Amino acid sequence: MKNNEINIKVEKIIFGGEGLGYFDDKVVFVPESVPGDELKVNIISSKKNYSRGIITEIIKSSKNRVIPKCHYFNECGACDFMMMNYNTQLAYKKEMVKEVVGSLASIFDYELYDTIASENIYHYRNKVIQAIGKENSKIISGFYKKRTHDIVDNDNCIIQPVIFNKIIKKIKENAYENSIIIYDEKSRKGSLRNVMLRINKIGEIMLVIVTNEKKYKKIQQLAMEICNSFKEIKSCYISINLTGSNVVLGKENIHIYGEKNIYENINGMTFLISPLSFFQVNTHQAEKMYNIAYSYINDLENKIVVDAYAGTGTIGAIFARKSKYVYSIELVKDACNDANRNIKINKLSNMKVINGSVDDKLIELLNNKNKVDVIIFDPPRKGLEIEIIDKISNLKIPELVYISCNPSSFARDAKLLCEKGYKLMKIQPIDMFPNTNHIEIISKFEFIYN
């Protein structure tokens, strides 16, 4: 069937964001398609049970299809839902949660709310990392093409703040004028690798320029020129990354300009942002997410809470304003240092940061007979370890808030939790990443069986 051109009608969107249709009773997945589309599709791969095809012609558009606002949409790997109107994106995100939880966990009896929309569906990212490369003699920047390391040169990315585009454009111009050698992934030679930008709600910016060289004088000159050109830049670092890995920032991050941190205000509390620490990418949605998690627990004054996978302790700190005590567990040392500083800034006396893996530290905490009433889990994509699920259910920890950016690992964990006595009460999907297929959910479990 490979290389065949076929006509199909797209029936639905599946988890992962691709459209699904049928040809001769066989499933065909089509990226960037919308249910209702009638398409000519070129089959690019064919397996026993399914094929994958790319659109060669839209015969009839779904009523929910729109013209993507970004000119690079067809090439760039950053967004894959921009061809769908926003209400449809939200509806499918809810639908995908329902489908994944139903099919992988066989859980159907819980409240599933409508996806909470993002106020801004463009320019919403507070952090962007762009690769810098070279095409012939031109310096280029942007996200990668899907499933490649080929940069899509884009000076006008519409999911990042307009000022980020301006800063990156200026960096490329200055790098060209000053003959800075651009890093080449294949030979691992050259200097300028990546640019990372972070911005807070009041428009203050942190700039990090990543270089592949220990001697960074030229890069520093470039960085200083950029800092002097944009008054919004309040903090600047040079990150030295000599590795061949995909990890963007190096271990050595040298502060060269302005403040060491920028700060964000969430629900009246102040959180610092440093180059290496995790911070939710859509600030307004993060604020809503934290409020929802908070609203899930009653009678907080009398409760001891664990914020597991805590990052810089934002959720824990918000809970600590009311709860009896909060333990915040996080693997990354820098993030823990930031969390400790957040505790000081916000004058919290009832919160403790524990540096280490949740897999060890949570078990240790529980083994030491510390009373815990609520655990908030916000793990990375792979979800929870089975030992954690065993331990908390053996101890019958009464309430769990589980925040997840991956419905399929969430569903696997939800199934185990429910087998061990928990009930999934509700799921609130929230759109942290408009125009992409990414889904974030906030769920609540209660221990109900003896």
Ligand X SMILES: C[S@@+](CC[C@H](N)C(=O)[O-])C[C@H]1O[C@@H](n2cnc3c(N)ncnc32)[C@H](O)[C@@H]1O
413 scored as a contact of ligand X (CB under 6 A): no
- Of the candidate spans 60-68, 163-171, 178-186, 275-283, the one that interacts with ligand X by CB under 6 A turns out to be 275-283
Among 37, 373, 378, 431, the residue binding ligand X under the rule CB under 6 A is: 378
280 scored as a contact of ligand X (CB under 6 A): yes
Angle at 18 between CA 16 and CA 23, to 5 degrees: 135
Q: Residue 413, Cβ neighbours under 10 Å: how many? A: 25
Which secondary structure element, helix H or strand E, spans residue 421, and what is its range? none
Among 142, 190, 250, 311, the residue binding ligand X under the rule CB under 6 A is: 311
374 scored as a contact of ligand X (CB under 6 A): no
Q: Could you tell me if 279 and 312 are in contact, meaning their C-beta atoms sit under 8 angstroms apart?
A: yes
| Positive/negative CA dihedral, 337, 342, 344, 349 | negative
- Of the candidate spans 206-214, 276-284, 418-426, 435-443, the one that interacts with ligand X by CB under 6 A turns out to be 276-284
Can you tell me whether residue 55 is helix, strand or coil? Answer: strand
* String of DSSP letters for 380-393: -TT---HHHHHHHH
Long-range CB pairs of 222-229, under 8 A, 24+ apart, other chains included: 222/171, 222/174, 222/175, 222/178, 222/180, 222/192, 223/256, 223/257, 224/256, 224/257, 225/174, 226/167, 226/170, 226/171, 226/174, 227/257, 227/258, 229/170
- For ligand X, the closer of residues 182 and 384 by Cβ is 384
Residue nearest to ligand X (CB): 311
Q: CA-CA distance, 256 to 87, in Å (whole number)?
A: 44
- For ligand X, the closer of residues 65 and 127 by Cβ is 127
Among 371, 380, 390, 419, the residue binding ligand X under the rule CB under 6 A is: 380
- Of the candidate spans 58-66, 136-144, 307-315, 366-374, the one that interacts with ligand X by CB under 6 A turns out to be 307-315
Among 72, 278, 327, 410, the residue binding ligand X under the rule CB under 6 A is: 278
**CB 361, min distance to ligand X, A:** 7
Which secondary structure element, helix H or strand E, spans residue 79, and what is its range? none
Give phi and psi for 220, each to the nearest 5: -65, -40
Name the catalytic one among 76, 157, 405, 418. Answer: 405
**CB 391, min distance to ligand X, A:** 14
53 scored as a contact of ligand X (CB under 6 A): no
Name beta bridge partners: 145.
76
**CB 330, min distance to ligand X, A:** 5
**Residue 405 a catalytic site member:** yes
Give phi and psi for 292, each to the nearest 5: -65, -45
Binding mask 326-345 for ligand X (x = CB under 6 A): ---xxxx--x----------
310 scored as a contact of ligand X (CB under 6 A): yes
**CB 175, min distance to ligand X, A:** 31
- Of the candidate spans 140-148, 205-213, 296-304, 308-316, the one that interacts with ligand X by CB under 6 A turns out to be 308-316
Question: Smallest Cα–Cα separation from 436: which of 140, 205, 215, 157?
Answer: 157
Can you tell me whether residue 265 is helix, strand or coil? Answer: strand
Q: What is the DSSP letter of 306?
A: E
265 scored as a contact of ligand X (CB under 6 A): no
315 scored as a contact of ligand X (CB under 6 A): yes
Q: Could you tell me if 80 and 436 are in contact, meaning their C-beta atoms sit under 8 angstroms apart?
A: yes
Binding mask 190-229 for ligand X (x = CB under 6 A): ----------------------------------------
309 scored as a contact of ligand X (CB under 6 A): yes
Strands (E), 75-199: 111-112, 127-135, 138-142, 192-199
Positions 68 through 127 that interact with ligand X (CB under 6 A): none
16 scored as a contact of ligand X (CB under 6 A): no
**How many chain residues bind ligand X (CB under 6 A)?**
18
Catalytic residues: 405
Interface positions with ligand X (CB under 6 A): 278-280, 309-311, 314-315, 329-332, 335, 357-359, 378, 380
